[in-house]
């Protein structure tokens, strides 16, 4: 389980960096099936258009990282279910609870709502996959809507990671990271935030 | 703990590694035989590309169709990426309305042929209103008119040993697709768009339409088609000019 955390962390960095590289080729977001320069946009991001081929390696890295994230995520969800991690720490926590209610809701939303939405909207942009499962994209309101939702959910995940890392830093970086790598509980008692 | 266990551990590990390696080698050979390995499979990102291509090929083996749209959904704006080729021979063809253009087809075919635009117009006509997404992120819907590539390949007698169809264009780009895509009913050699002849910027006189992949696979300005059983000897062996620019060969994403 600890290994899945660090694999997810590595693939998340890969996905975020390459996602920005891909976005910079056309930092405009639309709603519906289609959208291009000369058509109305939903959001014009204050970013430059970079047409110098950043999206090439961006795509290669994005899909390699996506495979690692999805395979790791599968192991994590199966392992977490088997070890009753989700039940004991999230849904029906023992008293006193290890995490507070805001932490539990956030964590559950990230694992069971945001990550699945990223995979769904990601696949909804794939012309090969939607030829097999058109519902993936029609349910999102079109290919460009899927792209926009993919961007918004990605931004929420980045916010989560920033908050997550900040909390670890504020509550004792060395102790927590030690526990995250070696296992067990953080060594010194402290107030959970 | 005794040395025996350590030795046993070492031997088990070695056997597992050997088994794993030979298992991988067998898997790779099988995958290659069933056309699950893309030509740009080597390098840092090769594992991701191979997983994507193999899973798409297994998923789409039964001839899934790209979504088609209603005429009222056709986009009013259909952007183009870059102007038509400036090569002298292309400009000559364009000036004469492509009346002297011919499509050359060679390679693993029983009857190497060349067709004029008028001859292509005389073949089975296929129309599709499909979505074209550029890898940059923008997209549009248009109607495409042309002849199914599979029809032309039957006509020239493509060999059962054929594995890829290679396209050469007037702008020095080249592209290739596997036979699963080449024989797919929605794969067109398109000479018309939105009710008119294909505009120069959209690839006149002839372009590929491959609606199950991103826009850049639908190569424009086609001059020649070659049917082959391997891509190793063509260019740098990576299957098209796209990997040279940093883009993946397979674009079904």
Please give the angle made by the CA atoms of A164, A168 and A174, to the nearest 5 degrees.
150
User: A188 falls in which pLDDT band (50, 70, 90)?
Assistant: low
pTM of the model: 0.90
**Which residues in chain B have Cβ-Cβ distances shorter than 8 Å to A28?**
137-138
For residue A35, give the DSSP letter: B
pLDDT over 70 at A187, yes or no: no
CA distance A78 to chain B (A): 21
What is the three-class DSSP state of B167? Answer: strand
CA–CA distances in Å: residue A108 to residues A36, B21, B51, B125, B163:
36, 39, 29, 53, 47
Please state, in angstroms and rounded to a whole number, the distance separating the CA atoms of residues A72 and A60: 18
What is the mean predicted confidence (pLDDT) over B73-85?
93
CB A38 within 8 A of CB B138: no
Neighbours of A155 (CB within 10 A): 12
B52 in A contact zone (CB under 8 Å): yes
Q: What is the pLDDT of residue B234?
A: 93
Least confident segment among A32-46, A160-174, B104-118: A160-174
* Percent over 90 (pLDDT), chain A: 74
How far from A4 is each of A109, A143, A180, B185, B234, CA to CA, in Å? 18, 31, 11, 42, 41
**Phi then psi for A78, rounded to 5 degrees?**
-65, -45
CB contact under 8 A, B213 and A130: no
Q: What is the pLDDT of residue A51?
A: 76
Query: How many Å apart are CA B151 and CA A39, to the nearest integer?
Result: 36
Complex-level ipTM: 0.89
> pLDDT tens-digit profile of B93-143?
999 999 999 999 999 999 999 999 999 999 999 999 999 999 999 999 999
Range of A46-60, B15-29, B115-129 with top mean pLDDT:
B115-129
The alpha carbon of A92 is separated from its chain's Cα centroid by a whole number of angstroms, namely 24
Tell if the CB–CB gap between A130 and B245 is shorter than 8 Å. Answer: no
pLDDT band at residue B3, thresholds of 50, 70 and 90? low
Q: What is the pLDDT of residue B59?
A: 86
When scoring B140, B213, B253 by the number of chain A Cβ atoms within 10 A, the one with the most, hence best to mutate, is B253
Question: What does the alpha-carbon distance between residue B9 and residue B171 come to, in Å, rounded to a whole number?
Answer: 60
pLDDT (tens digit per residue) in A96-116: 888 889 999 999 999 999 999
Decide if B56 and A129 are in contact by the 8 Å CB cutoff.
yes
Phi, psi for A38 (deg, rounded to 5):
95, -5
Q: Which of A85-99, A101-115, A139-153 has the lowest mean pLDDT?
A: A85-99
DSSP annotation of A48: -
Best of B139, B241, B250 to mutate (most A CBs within 10 Å, chain A): B139
Whether residue B189 contacts residue B67, with contact meaning beta carbons closer than 8 Å, is answered with: no
H or E segment and range at residue A165: helix A143-170
B246, B238 in Cβ contact below 8 A? no
Q: In whole angstroms, give the CA distance from residue A62 to residue A69.
A: 10
């Amino acid at each position: 389980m600890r290994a899945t955390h660090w694999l997810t962390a590595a693939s998340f960095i890969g996905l975020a960096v390459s996602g920005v590289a891909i976005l910079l080729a056309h930092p405009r977001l639309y709603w519906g099936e289609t959208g291009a320069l000369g058509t109305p946009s939903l959001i014009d991001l204050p970013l430059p258009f970079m047409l110098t081929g950043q999206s090439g390696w961006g795509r290669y890295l994005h899909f390699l990282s996506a495979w690692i994230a999805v395979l790791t995520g599968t192991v994590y969800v199966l392992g977490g279910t088997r070890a009753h991690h989700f039940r004991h720490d999230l849904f029906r926590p023992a008293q006193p609870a290890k995490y507070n209610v805001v932490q539990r809701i956030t964590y559950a939303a990230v694992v069971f709502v945001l990550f699945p939405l990223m995979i769904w909207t990601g696949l909804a942009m794939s012309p090969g996959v939607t030829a097999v499962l058109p519902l993936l994209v029609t349910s999102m309101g079109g290919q460009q809507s899927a792209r926009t939702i993919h961007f918004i959910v990605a931004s929420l995940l980045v916010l989560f990671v920033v908050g997550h890392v900040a909390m670890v830093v504020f509550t004792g970086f060395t102790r927590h990271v030690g526990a995250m790598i070696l296992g067990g509980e953080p060594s010194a008692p402290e107030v959970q935030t | 703990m005794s040395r025996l266990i350590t030795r046993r551990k070492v031997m088990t590990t070695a056997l597992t590694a050997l088994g794993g390696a030979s298992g991988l080698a067998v898997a790779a050979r099988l995958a290659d035989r069933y056309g699950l390995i893309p030509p740009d499979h080597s390098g840092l990102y090769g594992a991701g590309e191979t997983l994507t291509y193999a899973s798409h090929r297994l998923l789409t083996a039964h001839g899934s169709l790209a979504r088609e749209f209603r005429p009222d959904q056709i986009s009013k704006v259909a952007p183009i990426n870059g102007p038509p080729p400036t090569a002298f021979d292309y400009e000559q063809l364009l000036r004469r309305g492509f009346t002297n253009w011919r499509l050359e087809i060679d390679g693993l075919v029983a009857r190497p042929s060349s067709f004029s635009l008028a001859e292509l117009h005389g073949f089975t006509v296929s129309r599709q209103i499909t979505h074209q997404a550029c890898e940059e992120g923008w997209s549009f819907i248009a109607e495409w008119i042309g002849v199914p590539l599979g029809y032309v390949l039957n006509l020239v007698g493509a060999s059962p040993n054929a594995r890829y169809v290679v396209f050469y264009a007037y702008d020095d780009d080249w592209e290739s697709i596997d036979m699963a895509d080449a024989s797919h009913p929605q794969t067109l050699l398109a000479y018309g768009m939105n009710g008119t002849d294909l505009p120069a910027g959209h690839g006149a006189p002839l372009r590929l339409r491959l609606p199950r992949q991103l826009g850049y696979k639908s190569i424009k300005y086609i001059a020649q088609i070659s049917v082959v059983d391997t891509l190793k000897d063509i260019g740098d062996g990576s299957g098209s000019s796209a990997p040279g620019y940093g883009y993946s060969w397979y674009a079904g994403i």
